[in-house]
Amino acid sequence: MSTPSPLSAAPGLPREVALLERWAGGSPRSPLQCNQRHESDAELIRLPGSPSVLALTTDAISEEIESGLYADPYLIGWMTVMVNASDLAAVGAAPLGILLNQTLPADLRDHDLDALQRGIRDACTVCGLPVLGGDTNVGARLHMGACAVGLIADGRLLTRRGARPGDRLFASGPLGLGGAFALARLLRPNVAPPPFQPASRLGEGQIVRRFATCCMDTSDGAIATLDELSRVSGVGFGLHAAEEILHPAALGAARAAGLPPWFMLAGPHGEFELLFTIPEPAITAFRAEAGAARWEPKEIGVVSAQSEMRVLANGRWLRLDTRAVRDAYAEAGGDPRAYLARLVTINATMTPADTP
Amino acid sequence: MSTPSPLSAAPGLPREVALLERWAGGSPRSPLQCNQRHESDAELIRLPGSPSVLALTTDAISEEIESGLYADPYLIGWMTVMVNASDLAAVGAAPLGILLNQTLPADLRDHDLDALQRGIRDACTVCGLPVLGGDTNVGARLHMGACAVGLIADGRLLTRRGARPGDRLFASGPLGLGGAFALARLLRPNVAPPPFQPASRLGEGQIVRRFATCCMDTSDGAIATLDELSRVSGVGFGLHAAEEILHPAALGAARAAGLPPWFMLAGPHGEFELLFTIPEPAITAFRAEAGAARWEPKEIGVVSAQSEMRVLANGRWLRLDTRAVRDAYAEAGGDPRAYLARLVTINATMTPADTP
């Protein structure tokens, strides 16, 4: 059991959403803001006197450093940029730039500082995301944050809300590498983690925005993402078999560890792909655009009217409690073994469902 | 002596500037960015297809918490907003909103969380700065960051560069409360610190932008600010007597501690006022606008061609090594007593100067 604390969640909402609600509840809002709280990966602000919409997001690499999940300074630099770029991708914004907000320990070694810096620079180059500025502090612990800015010139919005029953669910690429990486780093120290250096889907997001009814990145894992899309749009999902959805290295990692393949989708560490829904009549045009950009999005399921998740496992449809999966890491007090035990319990209590 | 570390500065530049140069040196830049690095309190990005310029800034409250300077959670919340709002003020931007980036300890007490939140909310309300969104993490230490966004609709820029000899130097208000607060908090535990809850000068900045040749906020103290303005514009300053410039509570604090009054201007903790330069022919119009807004800016000196600072003390003009003052806190390894000793040495070695 986790200790009760002022940071514990209100019942009925995912812990993370409840915390943010509690936090931001009383703050003044902007009449220019297009999205409600939790309804978009980036904040969407209509620019006065212009059709354009500004996309803004901020994200830090903090728990990943403290938990030991990220130890390589190059990866820390790379991810500081990517977690923010990925939010811009999920709203289909064109990148304008990034501000860095970093606290560096005074005893940080020279080659670690260089690696951190190279990780940032390489990620910015790959994303086409110029460094606009930032703030550097010296402190007891390494803490890396950033704020990314993008532009949606025509003002057409893509948020987490809008999926409709019958829409097809797509992923921008194979899933599960974030989960497999965390499994190796935190629970299987003798196993080499799979290569993990995700590139945000900025170009793909700009295509998705023209066709999709909703979109979100899988920064917290695919199942947490689907739980949130389900909550915000009031729909459910039928998900193809995990074997078809997973990256081969993630599937291999699950099998080597003797775990159900869907555990690689559970989060809370995701792979920074996009999940989005496309109405059936738009699929041909969408696939043509994607193909022209040499990108092959993957259809991984369907949107259902009933607000629950059904997953295909060994040829049978089972109900998966996505809220329980999403909250499991926090409920386990952040302990990886206790978390895995919770997933095992959830897996054992899945019940048969109708075809979605 | 401070320990040599990879974070130590290159010679010739202020430590803080050298660190940021080293850090951001290799990163890609944006062709839309109007300001060079260190030339502006906020990053200025021209919006494609529009005359408008976006102002972006990010700043964290981290060293202030670690050093014990800020302990009151309400003040921490308030300052998280104000340090960022103050950067928008210094470029004369109209506020669009703020994103919060916070790491909260899991054992944070309920009433401390509430106070932090009230501080943020009150500051946002005072600044007219809506909370657009943010990112909340749980971690070992409290860390508060934010990113503020503003708009300069007509695209007319105000940066740190542009002061010309003969321009008059102004402050948006009386100075020294930041220094006096730090003195009491860090060195005189038996003395009550003066009230310290600065309000950013957002409205004033929008007036200043129409008249001033350069502007910067005093987040790092007035002397560090003047050192930077001097470096960027290639000018110097003649500063009125500290007794005329200081807030009465700051002057009283210096006298009670037996310190030269200018120590209250030394930083590194400032008062978040604006320092700016106005060409003489524009002063009457500027004062009229300010008066209409019921604001009385204070003339505190003059811009000189020679790149040094001269201060009036006891009726004599003395040369002050602003670079030495600015670097003193870092050179003292962040130790308040060693820092004060350095200021005493600098004070003792001031040499007479000509009238500016």
pLDDT band at B2 (very low <50, low <70, confident <90, very high): very low
pLDDT score recorded for residue A9: 42
Helices (H), B192-335: 202-208, 222-233, 242-245, 248-257, 283-292, 322-331
pLDDT tens digit sequence for B236-259: 999 999 999 999 999 999 999 999
Size of interface A-B (CB pairs under 8 A): 226
Asked if residue B116 has pLDDT above 60, the reply is yes
> Under a CB-based contact definition with an 8 Å cutoff, are residues A170 and A300 in contact?
yes
Residue A240 vs residue B14, higher pLDDT? A240
The position carrying tokens 């978009």 is A40
Asked if residue B24 has pLDDT above 70, the reply is no
> Which residues of chain A have a CB within 8 Å of the CB of B106?
5, 7
One-letter amino acid at B58 equals T
**Domains assigned to chain B:** 29-152 (3.30.1330.10), 168-352 (3.90.650.10)
3-state secondary structure of A186: helix
For B123, the closest chain A residue by CA position comes to A27
> Cβ A125–B19 below 8 Å, yes or no?
no
One-letter amino acid at B135 equals D
For B23, the closest chain A residue by CA position comes to A117
> Cβ A138–B100 below 8 Å, yes or no?
no
> Cβ A28–B125 below 8 Å, yes or no?
yes
Give me the mean pLDDT over the B77-103 stretch. Answer: 96
> Cβ B136–A20 below 8 Å, yes or no?
yes
pLDDT score recorded for residue A19: 61
- The region that residue B133 occupies, defined by phi over 0 for left and psi between -120 and 50 for alpha, beta otherwise, is left
pLDDT score recorded for residue B3: 32
A253: its two tokens: 């990692």
> Cβ B60–A137 below 8 Å, yes or no?
yes
Cβ neighbours of residue A187 under 8 Å, at least 6 residues apart? Answer: A257, A336, A337, A340
* C-alpha pair distances (Å), A115 with each of A73, A75, A108: 6, 8, 11
- DSSP H or E segment with residue B57: strand B53-61
Q: How many whole angstroms separate alpha carbon A163 and alpha carbon A172? A: 17
pLDDT tens digit sequence for B144-173: 999 999 999 999 999 999 999 999 999 999
Of B23, B52, B140, the CB nearest to A66: B140
For A147, the closest chain B residue by CA position comes to B147
Cβ neighbours of residue B256 under 8 Å, at least 6 residues apart? Answer: B191
> Cβ B135–A60 below 8 Å, yes or no?
yes
pLDDT score recorded for residue B4: 32
> Which residues of chain A have a CB within 8 Å of the CB of B32?
96-97
The sign of the dihedral angle between the CA atoms of A24, A38, B103, B57 is: negative
Of A30, A56, A133, the CB nearest to B43: A133
- Give the rounded distance of the alpha carbon of B210 from its chain centre: 21
pLDDT score recorded for residue A29: 85
> Cβ A99–B20 below 8 Å, yes or no?
no
pLDDT score recorded for residue B44: 97
**Number of Cβ atoms within 10 Å of the Cβ of B156:** 11
Which of B196, B114, B174 is CA-nearest to residue A7? Answer: B114
> Under a CB-based contact definition with an 8 Å cutoff, are residues A274 and A225 in contact?
no
> Cβ A131–B56 below 8 Å, yes or no?
no
Chosen from B16, B27, B37, B331 to mutate, greatest number of chain A CBs within 10 A: B27
Q: How many whole angstroms separate alpha carbon B41 and alpha carbon B56? A: 9
| Burial category of B134 from C-beta neighbours within 10 Å (exposed 0-12, middle 13-18, buried 19 and up) | buried
> Cβ B5–A107 below 8 Å, yes or no?
yes
pLDDT tens digit sequence for B275-306: 999 999 999 999 999 999 999 999 999 999 99
Which of A73, A71, A121, A131 is CA-nearest to residue A101? Answer: A131
pLDDT band at B139 (very low <50, low <70, confident <90, very high): confident
Q: How many whole angstroms separate alpha carbon B66 and alpha carbon A128? A: 35
> Which residues of chain A have a CB within 8 Å of the CB of B136?
19-20, 23
> Under a CB-based contact definition with an 8 Å cutoff, are residues B94 and B156 in contact?
no
Q: How many whole angstroms separate alpha carbon A262 and alpha carbon A266? A: 7
> Cβ A138–B7 below 8 Å, yes or no?
yes
A252: its two tokens: 């291999």
| Burial category of A350 from C-beta neighbours within 10 Å (exposed 0-12, middle 13-18, buried 19 and up) | middle
One-letter amino acid at A223 equals I
> Under a CB-based contact definition with an 8 Å cutoff, are residues B61 and B144 in contact?
yes
pLDDT score recorded for residue B205: 98
- Give the rounded distance of the alpha carbon of B113 from its chain centre: 27
Q: What is the DSSP string of B237-265?
A: EEE--HHHHB-HHHHHHHHHHT--GGGGG
B176: its two tokens: 């020294």
pLDDT tens digit sequence for B195-245: 999 999 999 999 999 999 999 999 999 999 999 999 999 999 999 999 999
Q: How far is B147 from chain A (nearest CA, A)?
A: 7
Average pLDDT, chain B: 91
Of B52, B63, B125, the CB nearest to A139: B63
Of A6, A106, A130, the CB nearest to B108: A6
B162: its two tokens: 């542009």
For residue B217, what are the β-bridge partners?
B274
Asked if residue B62 has pLDDT above 80, the reply is yes
pLDDT band at B182 (very low <50, low <70, confident <90, very high): very high
Say what the pTM is.
0.91
pLDDT score recorded for residue A17: 62
Q: How many whole angstroms separate alpha carbon B207 and alpha carbon B287? A: 10
Which of A193, A321, A175, A350 is CA-nearest to residue A257? Answer: A193
Q: How many whole angstroms separate alpha carbon B267 and alpha carbon B346? A: 14
Per-residue pLDDT of chain A (356 residues; tens, 9 = 90+): 233 333 444 445 666 666 666 665 667 789 999 998 889 999 999 998 889 999 999 999 988 998 999 999 999 999 999 999 999 999 999 999 999 998 889 889 989 999 999 999 999 999 999 999 988 888 888 999 999 999 999 999 999 999 999 999 999 999 999 999 999 999 998 999 999 999 999 999 999 999 999 999 999 999 999 999 999 999 999 999 999 999 999 999 999 999 999 999 998 999 999 999 999 999 999 999 999 999 999 999 999 999 899 999 888 999 999 999 999 998 998 899 999 999 999 999 999 997 75
> Which residues of chain A have a CB within 8 Å of the CB of B54?
54, 96, 149
Between β-strands A53-61 and A94-105, what pairing exists: parallel, antiparallel or unpaired?
unpaired
> Cβ B24–A149 below 8 Å, yes or no?
no
> Cβ B147–A100 below 8 Å, yes or no?
no
| Burial category of A205 from C-beta neighbours within 10 Å (exposed 0-12, middle 13-18, buried 19 and up) | buried
